[in-house]
Amino acid sequence: MEKNPVCEMLGIEYPVIQGGMAWIADAKLAAAVSNAGGLGLIAAMNSNGEQLRAQIKEAKKLTDKPFGVNLMLMSPYIEEAVDVVCEEGISVVTTGAGNPSKYMEKLKSANIKVICVVASVALAVMVERMGASAVIAEGCESGGHVGETTTMALVPQVVDAVNIPVIAAGGIADGRGMAAAYMLGAKAVQMGTRFLTAKECGVHENYKEKVLSAKDRDTIVTGKSLGHPVRALKNRMTREFQAKELDPNTTSEELEAMGAGALRKAAIDGDVKYGSCMCGQIAGLVKSEGTCEEIIKSIYNEAMALMGA
């Protein structure tokens, strides 16, 4: 089989990228994914500059393979995070939940490959023009902050619109999903939900169990009225949030206050009733733990077998 452009570009063995899950994707998970031959990512969302630097230093101790940082553009620490990745010699970043224009020049001047998560063709075309090395076309099946278009519809439209490699994300958790993404023209996949239950993932056990027992219709999108829709597992929190969101007397400040800190509550404290368990629609397919190495190899081998490669 011909060489994979995403593997070549990033110096990795398998075209599998781990999602930059806020409060979850730390140095330990990123290093485990990178050691297994994929691309691990540290989520910068929940860390100030110095906390992020400490995570990067820890990951450097845990792996000598390439790893990256996910820059969540709505993060209160985004400016610090951009400076830290430039100073620490990070080779690749992914950006998400917004338009990265403001930071492209600085990142590229520091020799960092920038891979942008996009939820539309328009943004894909724009970031290609600004020098992005690849795009991650993320469909609304994914967990956390979501766009409006499904992976099945988004990926081929982005593939036709840009000349840089397209990585598919949203609703992919096994070899069938990976093979399907390839058929749509993607050269690699990014998975979040699949790595949530990995043995090396430090998310609270209660959260892991909720993902492992989830079925196909167990997620819901809330927060559309605030301009940042989020997909999470249904629970007391999403029910109350939805009711408030539908109530015309609720102010956006009240809603923002309800959402603030909810992911931390679930991921760190294990409060899966009142916290936000962000998770993709594919959770119903995730039935067992497994190490990052087992996950990556089984998915890749299954995909290649299906494709007759």
Of 156, 157, 167, 164, nearest to 192 (Cα)? 167
Look-up of token digits 């730390």 = 26
Counting contacts by CB under 6 A, is residue 101 touching ligand TUI?
A: no
In the shown chain, the binding pattern of residues 37 to 56 toward ligand TUI, with x for contact by CB under 6 A and - for none, equals --------x-----------
Looking at beta carbons only, is 51 or 291 nearer to ligand TUI? Answer: 51
Q: Interface with ligand TUI includes 280 (CB under 6 A)?
A: no
Nearer to ligand TUI, 10 or 72 (CB): 72
* Of positions 78, 237, 263, 277, contacts ligand TUI by CB under 6 A: 263
| 144 binds ligand TUI, rule: CB under 6 A | yes
d(CA 142, CA 279): 7
Q: Output the smallest distance, CB 304 to ligand TUI, in A.
A: 27
* Beta pairing, strands 67-72 & 166-169: unpaired
Any contact of residue 117 with ligand TUI (CB under 6 A)?
yes
Our CA dihedral for 81, 85, 91, 94, rounded to 10 degrees, sits at 0
Upper half-sphere CA count for residue 112 (Cβ side, 13 Å): 29
Nearer to ligand TUI by C-beta: 98 or 175?
98
Closest CA to 169 of 267, 39, 305: 39
Per-residue x/- track, 68-87, ligand TUI (CB under 6 A):
----x---------------
Identify the helix (H) or strand (E) that includes residue 155.
helix 151-161
Which residues in this chain contact ligand TUI in the complex, by CB under 6 A? 22, 45, 72, 96-99, 117-119, 123, 138, 144-147, 228, 230, 259, 263, 278
